[in-house]
Structure 1
Amino acid sequence: MGMVSGKTAIVTGSGAGIGRAAALRFAAEGAKVVVCDVDVEGGKETAAAIERQGGKAIFIEADVSRVQDVDALITRTVEAFGRLDCACNNAGIEGRIAPIVEQPIDNFDRIMAVNLRGTFLCLQAEIRQMLKNGGGAIVNLASVAGLIGFPGLAPYVASKHGVNGLTKNAALEYGKQGIRVNAVCPGGVDTRMLDSLARQSTGGEKTTREMMEPLHPIGRIGTPEEIAELIVWLCSDHASFVTGANIPIDGGFVAQ
């Protein structure tokens, strides 16, 4: 028996990176998985990988910044699997690096639309459905940038601080109705997003590892699979007394 056997889980932004690793881990631990992304090819690849490993998954294309897409995601999930027990709100973008006075407004708006509005819309729709089920567990993807500042990344930092705030509020509002809500705050993780930030920061002069590994006391960056382990654990009954937490998983980064 897996940690989430018999449960249904949605993972947004699961066409690659942490989202894909989380979707695969949910399936390995016995859940039926709804893979969601705007990247159709990547999302279908994730769902196919789950099926190849003997799991059960469907892919649903959705832009989490759009109310109608999020509502349709929940409707189609329930049509396919009958209920919603777990959700990982992972979809997010990093945008461009620039000081606040040089940040384009459209960059700020797009980051907030996906990272913060998207998480809010998903929380609304997921919680409505979980209330019908009698409970559930949600994990939001924040970041160490939701706990501290990073020069040049003000829109991203603001969005992830907002995700951590939403997490606390949702946990307080729905804990007595059987819904737990937590956030994970990864440090540097080997993903395309981190590669993009490294290229922007160094003008392509340093690799992601050259730039990021010295910043982590553990001496390396993390893997998507390590973050996925925490996500699935938080959605399992093993974490039944954990809610409202913003949990660093960062190789000691914010302990410095």
Structure 2
Amino acid sequence: MGRLNGKVAIVTGGGSGFGEAIAKAFANEGAHVLIADIAVENGRRVEAEIEQTSSEGQGRAVFIEFDCVSQQSWKEALEFAKEKFGKLDIVVNNAGTTYKKKPSIEVTEEEFDKIINVNIKSIYQSVAVVMPYFVERKQGVFLNTSSVAGTRVRPGQVFYGGTKGFVNTITQGLAAEYGPMGVRINSLCPLRGATGLLEMFSGVPDTPEERARFAQSVPLRRMSEPADIAAAAVFLASDEASFITGVNLPIDGGRLAV
């Protein structure tokens, strides 16, 4: 029996990076996963990889083309989950974006609007559509992928960090508001990791030397890996965390401690 056996989850941005690792870990723990991504090729690849390696006791994976900013996409995803698997238990708001590290006065309005939409509005849409369903069922889990930048904003990524500060604040507020209805809301706060956005965060080419340099600023002497975030997501989504809500969990190797 997996730790998420019988659960049904939607993972936005599930076609790559942290989302891909979370989707695969959830399926490995017995959850049926909707891989929701605007990147069709990546999403279908992850679906195929999960299906090819699935065995008895593991969950199924289904890709859905998905725009996390669109309320209609959320409505269709919820209905699809109910029709395909009979319910929805877990929402992982993982889709996110940033701009290349640079002075804040050089951030364009287009770049600003994009991070507001993807990093903030998408979570509003998920709550608007799925929260009433969870409240009706008196159970459900939201996991929001935030960042250590939401606690300590670094120069060159100020507006991005601001969006993650928003995520942290509403995670706590929604947890207090909907805890009495049986809904848990937590956030994952990773350190910079080996994903497709790495060079955007660092502002320099991704080289072994740059990774080694950054690792020296982390007490545990490495960057985060997608598997680190996936392991935390499995725990917070599982019944083992049934008394945990309103937590913004740093997964940062101690970076916030220094």
TM-score (norm 2): 0.94
CA–CA distance in structure 2, aligned partners of residues 175 and 33 of structure 1: 24
Which amino acid counterpart does residue 217 of structure 1 have in structure 2?
P
Which amino acid counterpart does residue 68 of structure 2 have in structure 1?
V
Quick check: 1:120–1:166 contact (8 Å CA) kept in 2?
no
Query: Cα RMSD over matched residues?
Result: 1.5
5+ residue gaps, structure 1, are none
Q: Deviations over 1:13-61 (max 9, x none)?
A: 0101110000001101111110000110111111111111223111111
* Secondary structure, counterpart of 2:197 in structure 1: helix
Residue 51 of structure 1: aligned partner: 51
Residue correspondence of structure 1 range 1-256 to structure 2 within 5 A = 1-54=1-54, 55-198=59-202, 201-202=203-204, 208-256=210-258
CA–CA distance in structure 2, aligned partners of residues 62 and 56 of structure 1: 18
CA–CA distance in structure 2, aligned partners of residues 211 and 83 of structure 1: 46
Quick check: 2:50–2:61 contact (8 Å CA) kept in 1?
yes
CA–CA distance in structure 2, aligned partners of residues 45 and 205 of structure 1: 26
Q: Shift in Å at residue 160 of structure 1? A: 0.5
Quick check: 1:96–1:107 contact (8 Å CA) kept in 2?
no
TM-score (norm 1): 0.94
Using the aligned pairs only, state the percent identity. Answer: 38
Quick check: 1:84–1:133 contact (8 Å CA) kept in 2?
no
Counting matched residue pairs gives: 254
Quick check: 1:142–1:183 contact (8 Å CA) kept in 2?
yes
Which amino acid counterpart does residue 71 of structure 1 have in structure 2?
K
* 16 and 183 in structure 1: CA distance in 2 versus 1, 3 angstrom threshold: same
CA–CA distance in structure 2, aligned partners of residues 4 and 123 of structure 1: 22
Quick check: 2:71–2:129 contact (8 Å CA) kept in 1?
no
CA–CA distance in structure 2, aligned partners of residues 142 and 211 of structure 1: 24
Q: Which runs of 4+ in 1 moved over 3 A?
A: 203-208
CA–CA distance in structure 2, aligned partners of residues 207 and 181 of structure 1: 38
Q: Deviations over 1:149-206 (max 9, x none)?
A: 11111221111001111111110111011110000100121111113333xx236687
Quick check: 2:185–2:245 contact (8 Å CA) kept in 1?
yes
Quick check: 2:199–2:205 contact (8 Å CA) kept in 1?
no
- Most deviating of 74-83 and 37-46: 74-83
Q: Shift in Å at residue 129 of structure 1? A: 2.0
CA–CA distance in structure 2, aligned partners of residues 3 and 220 of structure 1: 28
Q: Shift in Å at residue 207 of structure 1? A: 5.2
